[in-house]
Amino acid sequence: MAKAPSRTTAKRKAPVKAKAKPQTAAAAHPVSPLAPRSFAKLPPLAGVRLATGAAGIKYKDRTDVLVAVLAPETQAAGVFTRSKTASAPVEWCRAGLAGGTARALVVNSGNANAFTGKAGMDGAQAVAQSTAAAVGCRAAEVFLASTGVIGEPLPAERITKILGGLVEAGAAAGWMEAARAIMTTDTYPKLATATAMIDGHKVTINGIAKGSGMIAPDMATMLSFVFTDAAIPAEALQEMLSAGVKSSFNAITVDSDTSTSDTLLLFATGKGARHPEVRTAADKRLAEFRRKLEAVLLDLALQVVRDGEGAQKLIQIDVTGAETDRAAHRVGLAIANSPLVKTAIAGSDANWGRVVMAVGKAGEKADRDRLRISFGGHVVAEKGERAAGYDEKSATKAVSGRLVEIAVDLGIGKGKARVWTCDLTHGYIEINGSYRS
């Protein structure tokens, strides 16, 4: 995900308190208290060969390039930022998806190659061509993603210089190394895996992601790459991916800001267990695969929001009783993006009046007197006023832990949605208010 400012070198040397000691990437900030207790162990995936390298694009003493070489005829699908100032790699990928097949993915951290003009597109092309030459495919079959500083020219030659070696067997890497190589301000690597049966044949889904500021929904996502060894045509993949982001990557927000580089790609190598041919997303034999794909997407999305800049608490917001699901989603995001709600939660303040305010500003149909708000199951407001059974101690307890559950029933329809965010703390200001260089 593109962040205009980088961190200072001094800060990068801050002590790392990762539970799993990072081997190839040093976190700039202490590991989020919301980090998973352990990392998912991703199995090898037939048709995907990973390699990471240190190109020295911006960081020192860490990997910053990931190459995934994919089996011939790998099918691809993608969802991207809706930003009108999208990065060169995003434009490159959009064009590449028209072909439907992929042979390689190259990701670099440290430079977003965004707002870099013609030189930016030239750089993207150079990386793609260099990779294509090493893999033996068309440049259009190479997918690209870049994350880091906006507006700095991409030192493409530093990447192309090491690409040949990475594509060769020499630098094979596992999923954990892959997840680490794409980190920027992330405080931990993000991985998820699942298996699914397609007509009695087991297939695997592996995914990695990075965050962790400039994250808002409805604009695709930050960077996330999901791979499966199932054999599913590009069109069906795209349909399942587009459906899956709605309740995962499009249902999280850290700060309402949207990156120029948000990219989510899904690759299907078809090199796993041989299952009968499936052609469309509607095929019932894909039902379990769809469920598991959505679970992987949600798992990764939640890992991203748990690593929101400065996050101390994960906030889960359930909206029910809205006019439509879409209206519920918008009300949920109005609450999730409200700085006043987020700062109140940070201060363990059961300030339900701010939730009322956020519902009121969402622009969706709402009726003050039908609204019911609960914190952690404790009803704090209903019938247009503070709930009769309101208990300050219970309400405060509900907003004091690492997970805060807010439920809002609008009482006017059947629309519902669940969204997630994190609290807004001094850490966010600290991270984003420090000078770039």
Residue whose CB is less far from a copy of itself, 174 or 413: 413
One character per residue 101-140, x = contact with a copy of itself (rule: CB under 8 A): -----------x-xxxxxxx--------------------
Regarding 368 and contact with a copy of itself (CB under 8 A), the answer is yes
**314 lies in the binding site for a copy of itself (CB under 8 A):** no
5 near a copy of itself, judged by CB under 8 A: yes
Complex with a copy of itself: residue 394 or 432, whichever CB lies closer = 432
- The number of residues that bind a copy of itself (CB under 8 A) is 77
| Candidate list 58, 190, 271, 354; residue touching a copy of itself; CB under 8 A | 354
Residues 210-229 that bind a copy of itself (CB under 8 A): 213-214, 216, 219
Q: Which of residues 146-205 bind a copy of itself (CB under 8 A)?
A: 149-153
Q: Which of 338, 375, 408, 417 binds a copy of itself (CB under 8 A)?
A: 338
**Piece of 50-58, 164-172, 317-325, 348-356 that binds a copy of itself (CB under 8 A):** 348-356
Selecting among 193, 221, 253, 425, the annotated active-site residue is: 221
Residue 223 CA neighbour count, 13 Å, CB half = 35
Segment 379-408, which members bind a copy of itself (CB under 8 A)?
381, 383-386
One of 83, 129, 316, 394 touching a copy of itself (CB under 8 A): 83
3-state SS of 71-123 is EEEEEEEEEECCCCCCCHHHHHHHHHHCCCEEEEEEEEEEECCCCCHHHHHHH
Minimum CB–partner distance for residue 184 and a copy of itself (Å): 13
- Min dist CB 343 to a copy of itself, Å, is 4
Candidates 142, 311, 362, 422: give the one binding a copy of itself (CB under 8 A): 362
Q: Which stretch binds a copy of itself (CB under 8 A): 36-44, 273-281, 314-322, 333-341?
A: 333-341
- We find the least distance from the C-beta atom of residue 149 to a copy of itself, in angstroms, to be 7
* Residue numbers 41-80 binding a copy of itself by CB under 8 A: none
- 375 counts as binding a copy of itself under rule CB under 8 A: no
Residue given tokens 């709600």 in the structure block: 341
Q: Interacting stretch for a copy of itself, rule CB under 8 A, among 43-51, 238-246, 300-308, 368-376?
A: 368-376
Position among 56, 165, 353, 411 found at the interface with a copy of itself (CB under 8 A): 353
Q: Which is nearer to a copy of itself, 242 or 432 (CB)?
A: 432
Could you give the angle at the alpha carbon of 17 between the alpha carbons of 297 and 43, nearest 5°?
A: 40
User: By CB under 8 A, what part of segment 413-432 binds a copy of itself?
Assistant: 424-426, 428-430, 432
Q: Can 320 be counted among the known catalytic residues?
A: no
By beta-carbon proximity to a copy of itself, the closer residue of 125 and 195 is 125
For residue 346, state whether it binds a copy of itself (rule: CB under 8 A).
yes
Which residue, 86 or 139, has its beta carbon nearer to a copy of itself? 86
The values of phi and psi at residue 202, to 5°, are -80, 130
Which residues are designated catalytic? 221
